[in-house]
């Protein structure tokens, strides 16, 4: 079955450490997204990528970095510069073309806790 796989599901990190969250999709989607979810704040866009080797900052990109070397993969690194990294992180991808535009498919998320 096609879908988005995020790993790890739960992650604990000490302050000052970088951590990378994995996102892999086998849907052949061009665009991929990273959202952060905090209680009471909904989802906020961190980074998005419309094609391989290209990505743009979202609303809250500071302290995060991404890469898009393959169509299937869009890893997110939470760096030590991110002041409040404890959150639930969701990866998503989008169907190509106008008929499916902006209908996002989401992964099951990764919950990061900074100790």
Partner 1 sequence: AQKVTQAQTEISVVEKEDVTLDCVYETRDTTYYLFWYKQPPSGELVFLIRRNSFDEQNEISGRYSWNFQKSTSSFNFTITASQVVDSAVYFCALSGSISNFGNEKLTFGTGTRLTIIP
Q: Is 108 in the site for partner 1 (CB under 8 A)?
A: yes
CB of 17 to partner 1, least distance (A): 23
Interface mask toward partner 1 for 17-56; x: CB under 8 A: --------------x--------xxxxxx--x-x-----x
In the three-class reduction of DSSP (H, G, I as helix; E, B as strand; rest coil), residue 99 is classed as helix
Count of positions (residues) in the chain: 115
Nearest to 90 by CA among 8, 17, 26, 6: 6
Question: Which region, judged by CB under 8 A, interacts with partner 1, from 16-24, 66-74, 77-85, 95-103?
Answer: 95-103
CB of 16 to partner 1, least distance (A): 27
- CA–CA separation, 17 and 41 (whole Å): 25
- CA–CA separation, 38 and 61 (whole Å): 15
CB of 73 to partner 1, least distance (A): 18
- CA–CA separation, 19 and 52 (whole Å): 22
**Size, binding site for partner 1 by CB under 8 A:** 27
Q: Is 104 in the site for partner 1 (CB under 8 A)?
A: yes
> Pick from 53, 83, 102, 115: which binds partner 1 (CB under 8 A)?
102
Q: Are strands 110-114 and 10-13 parallel, antiparallel or unpaired?
A: parallel
């Amino acid at each position: 079955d096609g879908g988005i796989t995020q790993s790890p599901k739960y992650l604990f990190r000490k302050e000052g450490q970088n951590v990378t969250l994995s996102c892999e999709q086998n849907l052949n989607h061009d665009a991929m997204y990273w959202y952060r979810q905090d209680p009471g704040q909904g989802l906020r866009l961190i980074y998005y990528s419309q094609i391989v080797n290209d990505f743009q900052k979202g609303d809250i990109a500071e302290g995060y970095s991404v890469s898009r070397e393959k169509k299937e993969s869009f890893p997110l690194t939470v760096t030590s510069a991110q002041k409040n990294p404890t959150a639930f992180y969701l990866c998503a991808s989008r169907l190509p073309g106008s008929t499916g535009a902006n209908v996002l498919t989401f992964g099951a998320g990764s919950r990061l806790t900074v100790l």
